[in-house]
């Protein structure tokens, strides 16, 4: 009998230890039914943070704000989202963010309906190869294969280096210098500038930069913005690398 009690006690201690190791730092967890049966989470994005492979969204609906964590997804402030129902946690601490959330919901990501909407709305009816109405493409001369030196500074990278380090650079502000080879103006409230630096290697492709600035084709520019990789706007517009909300000089 004593051996049986001892064995059960050991198993309980092992189970508790494994559970404590596997779960994130949290208290006050609420118990829900199967998350697949929960209604979708909807709201307007008022803040978005990418960290550690997750996107933390601060949503607002009917004047009430809440935090939701999902696998990393490209969203911007102002987007209306619909996410799969999830489990709400209390007092969750995110180590990568060094931040404590009083309450946060963990969701598996966007619903099929929202994914479909994103693809239908992304660049709807826009030809990215043409300038906006009333605009002219820059008339500067593009020098094929022009080698552009990397901008100075510790946060500066060549296009080759960006591609090699694209995972660790995700969500960081970086600087890149290159020659403007294409400009599509005033699309979705911003200009889409394509630059290259001829840094060599198989990654010698164009970097797309979104900006309010208006450089012309042929200009040598330095762009500073937030880097993202593997961004899918839907509608066939996928970017392996992109620099968002950049200043271009």
CATH of the domain at 62: 2.40.50
Same domain, 99 and 163: no
Which pairing describes strands 207-211 and 220-232: parallel, antiparallel, or unpaired? Answer: unpaired
Residue that finishes a domain, picked among 94, 121, 148:
121
Residue 243's alpha-carbon distances to 42, 181, 199, 213, in angstroms, are 28, 15, 17, 13
Q: Facing residues of 66 across strands?
A: 59
Same domain, 45 and 98: yes
Same domain, 176 and 222: yes
Give the per-residue pLDDT at 27.
39
**pTM exceeding 0.75:** no
Contacts 24+ apart (CB under 8 A), 188-192: 188/123, 188/126, 190/245, 192/128
Q: Is residue 34 part of a domain?
A: yes
Q: Is residue 2 part of a domain?
A: no
Segments forming the whole domain that contains residue 102: 24-121
Q: Is residue 206 part of a domain?
A: yes
Same domain, 114 and 28: yes
Give the per-residue pLDDT at 44.
94
Owner of token pair 């201690």: 13
Q: Is residue 19 part of a domain?
A: no
Residue that finishes a domain, picked among 65, 96, 121:
121
Q: Is residue 60 part of a domain?
A: yes
Q: Is residue 74 part of a domain?
A: yes
Give the per-residue pLDDT at 90.
85
Domain count, the chain: 2
Q: Is residue 148 part of a domain?
A: no
Give the per-residue pLDDT at 184.
83
Q: Is residue 51 part of a domain?
A: yes
Sheet holding 41-51, edge to edge: 80-83, 41-51, 54-61, 64-71, 99-106, 87-94
> Cα angle at 170 between 209 and 120, to 5 degrees?
60
Task: List the chain pLDDT tens, one digit each, 249 residues.
Answer: 444 444 434 434 433 333 332 334 433 444 444 555 788 999 999 998 877 778 899 999 999 999 999 988 777 788 899 999 988 888 888 887 888 899 999 998 888 888 877 766 655 544 444 444 434 444 567 787 788 888 888 899 988 888 888 889 989 999 999 999 888 887 777 888 999 888 766 555 688 999 999 898 889 999 999 999 887 766 567 788 899 999 999
Q: Taking a C-beta distance cutoff of 8 angstroms, is the pair 126, 97 a contact?
A: no
Same domain, 116 and 163: no
Instruction: Count each helix (H run) and each strand (E run) in the chain, helices first.
Output: 3, 11
> Cα angle at 108 between 102 and 114, to 5 degrees?
110
Give the per-residue pLDDT at 122.
55
Give the per-residue pLDDT at 34.
56
Same domain, 107 and 59: yes
Give the per-residue pLDDT at 166.
86
Same domain, 116 and 179: no
Whichever domain contains 219, its CATH number is 2.40.50.140
């Amino acid at each position: 009998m004593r051996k049986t009690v001892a064995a059960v006690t050991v198993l309980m201690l092992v189970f508790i230890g494994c559970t404590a190791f596997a779960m994130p730092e949290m208290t006050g967890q609420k118990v829900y039914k199967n998350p697949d049966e929960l209604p979708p989470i909807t709201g307007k994005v008022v803040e978005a943070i990418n960290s550690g492979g997750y996107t933390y969204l601060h949503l607002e609906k009917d004047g009430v704000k809440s935090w939701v964590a999902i696998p990393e997804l490209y969203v911007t402030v102002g987007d209306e989202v619909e996410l799969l129902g999830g489990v709400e946690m209390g007092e969750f601490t995110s180590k990568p963010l060094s931040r404590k959330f009083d309450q946060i919901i963990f969701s598996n990501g966007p619903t099929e309906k929202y994914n479909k909407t994103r693809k239908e709305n992304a660049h709807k009816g826009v030809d990215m190869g043409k300038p906006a109405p009333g605009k002219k493409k820059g008339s500067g001369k593009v020098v094929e294969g022009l080698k552009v030196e990397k901008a100075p500074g510790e946060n500066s990278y060549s296009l080759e280096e960006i591609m090699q380090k694209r995972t660790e650079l995700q969500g960081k502000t970086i600087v890149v210098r290159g020659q403007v080879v294409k400009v599509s103006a005033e699309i979705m409230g911003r200009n889409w500038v394509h630059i290259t630096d001829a840094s060599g290697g198989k990654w010698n492709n164009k970097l797309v930069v979104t900006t309010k600035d208006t450089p012309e084709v042929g200009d040598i520019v330095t762009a500073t913005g937030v880097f993202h990789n593997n961004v899918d706007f839907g509608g066939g517009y996928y970017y392996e690398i992109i620099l968002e909300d950049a200043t271009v000089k």
